[in-house]
Every structure is written in structure tokens, then in C-alpha cells.
Chain A
Amino acid sequence: AQSVTQPDIHITVSEGASLELRCNYSYGATPYLFWYVQSPGQGLQLLLKYFSGDTLVQGIKGFEAEFKRSQSSFNLRKPSVHWSDAAEYFCAVVGTSGTYKYIFGTGTRLKVLA
């Protein structure tokens, strides 16, 4: 079955520390991959996406993600977290042809300590 797993429900980091949020997917073929961020009571905003090519992708707000085909992973990273990064983060995938259904992980809620 197709699925996206975000194993960490909550993560707490200190401001200025590095961050890595994990995402693993199960899909018949390599899908397109996305990371979104959601502030409380708001819609989702795209941070970055991977379609093909360089497996390290850069996004907005200083985030990057690395696609590892062998591990079916697409982990999100940031070298130095800011208090404003506190939010919920979602990993998502969609097939490269024939489907309009996006599959989302259950999210990781990030708390940032001052």
C-alpha cells in the first residue's frame, strides 16, 4: 500500500540548533516529493519539492531536503532553527503519472525553545 511515514510526532529543539525531520515513503515507483509547513489555524505552505535531478533540494526559509532512493526517504533539514520555525511539518508524495491523489504523512510538530 502507498503510504508516507513521519515517525516523529513531536520534536523539540533549541533555537540555533540544527534540525532534521524524517520522512519515509512506500510507493510503487519513485513519486514526486514535497514538504509543507503549517502554522496553527492556517493552510499549508510549500517548503520544497523534488521531481528529479540533484537529490539535495533547497527550499524557502533556509530549509533543504535530501532524497535517498535506496532508503525511500526524503528528510528535511535546517542548519540553525529560528523561533519562527515552530509549526507543523508535513511530507507528501504524488505519483508521476495517472493519479491526482496526494498522500500525506501525519505530520511532525516542531517546538523551538528560546
Chain B
Amino acid sequence: DGGITQSPKYLFRKEGQNVTLSCEQNLNHDAMYWYRQDPGQGLRLIYYSQIVNDFQKGDIAEGYSVSREKKESFPLTVTSAQKNPTAFYLCASSMRPNEQFFGPGTRLTVL
């Protein structure tokens, strides 16, 4: 079945550590996205990529980095520069301008 997978489902990070969240899709979608979700704030765009080897900052890119070396993969690194990383992270993909398909999410907690 086609879809988006995110791993791990739960992730714990010590302060000062970088962590990488995985996102893979087999939908052959060109575009991929990372969102951060906090209670009461909806979805906030971190980064998005329209094609391989290209990506753009979203509204809250500070403290995050991404790569898009393959069409099916769009990993997100939460760096130590992100001061408040505890949140639910959602990856999505789309064939613009159709609807986005979402992964199941990764919950990141800073210890």
C-alpha cells in the first residue's frame, strides 16, 4: 500500500543533542513537508521541498535542518539550537496542488 511512514513514533532527546526524524513516502509525490504541532496552535510549517535537492524554509525553520537527496525521503534534524523542541512532528507529501497526505507523526520529548 502507498503511504507515508515516520519513525520513530516516540523520541526522547537530552538537551544539547541533535536528533533526526525520518519520513519516507512511496506515493511518488514531488513535494514533501514538515510541520510542528503544539496544543492550540494548529500546524506550523518548518520546511518544505518541491523537488529533489531543493527545499525552502517555512515559518519556523530556526533550529531545524532538512535534506532531500531522494524523492521518497525527507529527514528532519532537530538541532541543539532549537530551544523548545518538545512537540508532535508531522510529515506530509503532495502532488501540488492536490491534497496533502500525512504520516502518523513523531512525538519528540526533551528530557
Contact = CB atoms under 8 A, between A and B. Distances in A.
A107 B100 CA distance: 16
A105 B37 CA distance: 12
Given A32-B97, A96-B97, A100-B96, A41 B43 contact: no
Contacts of A45: 102
A113 interface: no
A43 interface: yes
Tell which of A44, A49, A100 has the most Cβ of chain B within 10 Å. A100
Contact of B105 (A36, A41, A104, A106): A41
Interface residues of B, number: 26
A100 B101 CA distance: 14
A90 B102 contact: no
B41 A106 contact: yes
B45 interface: yes
Interface residues of A, number: 25
Contacts, number: 57
Interface string B71-107: 0000000000000000010101010111111111101
A101 interface: yes
A106 B96 contact: no
Interface of B: 4, 31, 33, 40-43, 45, 48, 50, 58, 88, 90, 92, 94, 96-105, 107
Given A42-B104, A42-B105, A104 B97 contact: no
Nearest to B99: A46
A101 B105 contact: no
A36 to B, nearest CB: 8
A13 interface: no
Interface of A: 9, 32, 34, 36, 41-46, 49, 90, 92, 94-97, 99-102, 104-107
A49 B88 CA distance: 25
A106 B99 contact: no
A43 B96 contact: no
27 contacts: A9-B40, A41-B107, A42-B104, A42-B105, A43-B90, A43-B105, A44-B90, A44-B100, A44-B102, A46-B99, A46-B100, A49-B99, A92-B100, A94-B96, A99-B97, A100-B33, A100-B96, A101-B45, A101-B48, A101-B58, A102-B33, A102-B45, A102-B94, A104-B42, A104-B43, A105-B42, A106-B42
